[in-house]
């Protein structure tokens, strides 16, 4: 993003390379993603053919250096792509977001050179997916409550425990799961009380790793989500990701970045509801006139656009801070909070505008209505974002 001063006005505009990326993904979304979105949603099927074409476009490698098989772009470019995909299919958008932000980014941020060379070319190509095993039945917002353990056994880590709600964990192309696990007592190593939590790389198919059947979900039906169990899962000591005992701190950094990406996804959903509502309000008639000519409908859509616009500026700002190397934690929480609420509010209003048709799954707004609620929960609930914002204010 660039800022240019012209006369007495401050104008914000995307540089050409970002605009080209956005327009390319927008065309792809309309021509490839949109036509099959309803079918995959109804069938609860993972869109392998769409993901393969996303891989060909290089979307999974957007923020990674070319030396690791990436496109040499940045995180904001990834967010632009996610926003465009989410206009019509949040399941596809979250597949990209989780595959990059949660699957590959921890390896890039915290991995050794050997780990990067082994895993990033696969993950950046999109021919393989990674997952992040954080949430547990008793540890969601309170991730410090992790109970999964990894004991030191000579040259190996031995992992026992379970995870739930893990995106991209059970596809045919899933190759890696990064697992948070308790590796000891923090006071034994640092003098500070509490658990020592580390992150460990577990290749898919490792003996003792069991992928549970897919969940029956309210939305995101074409996204792959499973529970995982670990029964004496053995991996080499070299699979420790980052410094031992820094797993909790490292995953917080990953979530801070991921909240910007989830905000972008939410903005895409919010804008998709606006665009669908505008088109419908122009062609649907009631009492002899297009319903868009009535103030009740036009004002509702105007408010929807205001929400989407405001949320977009919030995630642009958080992304700009991140790329500039400045603190962005609070701004990421603000963006995630505002954007997820915009998506949910716009989905509700769009469904109302569509009337009975808005309750039919064949319409995009119906999918957004079901899909958007999780945006206020995943990667940090709205309550967690409020807590973080309040703390930044000294409260």
Write down the domain spans for the chain.
2-129, 131-245, 249-392
Q: Specify whether the backbone of 48 is left (phi greater than 0), alpha (psi in -120 to 50) or beta.
A: alpha
CB atoms within 10 A of CB 104: 31
Question: Which whole-number Å values give the CA distances from 251 to 144, 178, 214, 256, in the listed order?
Answer: 11, 10, 25, 9
Q: Quick one: fold of 131-245? A: Butyryl-CoA Dehydrogenase, subunit A; domain 2 (2.40.110)
Look at the block and give the residue holding tokens 């006071």.
187
Task: Return the CA Rg of the chain.
Answer: 21
pLDDT, position 59: 98
> How does pLDDT run across 328-376, given as a tens digit for each residue?
999 999 999 999 999 999 999 999 999 999 999 989 999 999 999 999 9
pLDDT tens digit at each of 395 positions of the chain: 544 333 344 556 889 999 999 999 999 999 999 999 999 999 999 999 999 999 999 999 999 999 999 999 999 999 999 999 999 999 999 999 999 999 999 999 999 999 999 999 999 999 999 999 999 988 777 767 899 999 999 999 999 999 999 999 999 999 999 999 999 986 655 444 478 999 999 999 999 999 999 999 999 999 999 999 999 999 999 999 999 999 988 988 999 999 999 999 999 999 999 999 999 999 999 999 999 999 999 999 999 999 999 999 999 999 999 999 999 999 999 999 999 999 999 999 999 999 999 999 989 999 999 999 999 999 999 999 999 999 999 99
Q: Tell me the pTM.
A: 0.94
Question: Does the annotation count 27 as an active-site position?
Answer: no
What superfamily would CATH give domain 2-129?
Answer: Acyl-CoA dehydrogenase/oxidase, N-terminal domain (1.10.540.10)
Q: Among candidates 185, 183, 199, which has minimal Cα distance to 151?
A: 183
User: 161 and 136 in contact (C-beta within 8 Å)?
Assistant: yes
Strands annotated E in the chain: 2-6, 9-13, 129-133, 149-153, 156-167, 174-185, 195-203, 209-211, 225-236, 240-241, 285-286, 289-290
Q: Is 375 exposed, middle or buried (0-12, 13-18, 19+ CB in 10 A)?
A: buried
> How does pLDDT run across 60-114, given as a tens digit for each residue?
999 999 999 999 999 999 999 999 999 999 999 999 999 999 999 999 999 999 9
pLDDT, position 66: 96
pLDDT, position 163: 96
The sign of the torsion formed by the CA atoms of 26, 27, 30, 36 equals negative
Reading the block at residue 18, the tokens are: 């970002």
Collapse the DSSP code of 85 into the 3-class scheme (helix H, G, I; strand E, B; otherwise coil) and give the result.
helix
* Annotated catalytic residue within 97, 196, 379, 383: 379
Look at the block and give the residue holding tokens 């009740």.
296
Do the domains at 131-245 and 249-392 have one common CATH topology? no
Q: Taking the domain 249-392, which CATH number applies? A: 1.20.140.10
Backbone angles phi, psi at 282, to 5 degrees: -80, -30
Residues 6+ apart with CB under 8 A from 27: none
């Amino acid at each position: 993003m660039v800022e240019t001063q012209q006369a007495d006005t401050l104008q914000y505009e995307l540089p050409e390379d970002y605009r080209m990326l956005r327009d390319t993904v927008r065309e792809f979304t309309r021509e490839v993603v949109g036509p099959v979105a309803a079918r995959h949603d109804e069938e609860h099927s993972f869109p392998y053919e769409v993901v393969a074409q996303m891989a060909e476009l290089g979307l999974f490698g957007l923020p990674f250096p070319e030396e690791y098989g990436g496109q040499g772009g940045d995180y904001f470019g990834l967010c632009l792509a996610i926003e465009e995909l989410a206009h019509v299919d949040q399941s596809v958008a979250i597949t990209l977001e989780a595959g990059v932000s949660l699957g590959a980014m921890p390896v890039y941020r915290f991995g050794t050179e050997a780990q990067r060379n082994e895993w990033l070319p696969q993950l950046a190509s999109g021919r393989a997916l990674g997952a992040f095993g954080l949430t547990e039945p008793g540890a969601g917002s309170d991730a410090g409550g992790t109970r999964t353990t990894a004991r030191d056994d000579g040259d190996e880590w031995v992992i026992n425990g379970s995870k739930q709600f893990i995106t991209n964990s059970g596809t045919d192309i899933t190759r890696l799961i990064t697992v948070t696990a308790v590796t000891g007592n923090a006071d034994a190593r640092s003098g500070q009380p509490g658990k020592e939590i580390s992150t460990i790389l577990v290749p898919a198919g490792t003996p003792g790793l069991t992928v549970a059947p897919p969940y029956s979900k309210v939305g995101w039906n074409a996204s792959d989500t499973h529970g995982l169990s670990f029964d004496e899962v053995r991996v080499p000591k070299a699979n420790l990701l980052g410094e031992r005992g820094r797993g909790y701190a490292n995953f917080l950094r990953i979530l801070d970045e991921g909240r910007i990406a989830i905000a972008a996804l939410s903005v895409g959903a919010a804008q998709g509801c606006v665009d669908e509502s505008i088109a419908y309000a122009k062609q649907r008639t009631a009492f002899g006139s297009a319903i868009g000519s009535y103030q009740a409908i036009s004002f509702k859509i105007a408010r929807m656009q205001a929400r989407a616009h405001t949320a977009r500026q919030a995630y642009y700002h958080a992304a700009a801070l991140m790329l500039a190397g400045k603190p962005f934690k609070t701004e990421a929480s603000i963006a995630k909070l505002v954007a997820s609420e915009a998506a949910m509010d716009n989905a509700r209003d769009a469904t109302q505008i569509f009337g009975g048709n808005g309750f039919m799954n064949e319409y995009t707004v119906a999918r957004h209505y079901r899909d958007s609620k999780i945006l206020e929960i995943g990667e940090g609930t709205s309550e967690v974002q409020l807590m973080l914002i309040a703390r930044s204010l000294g409260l």
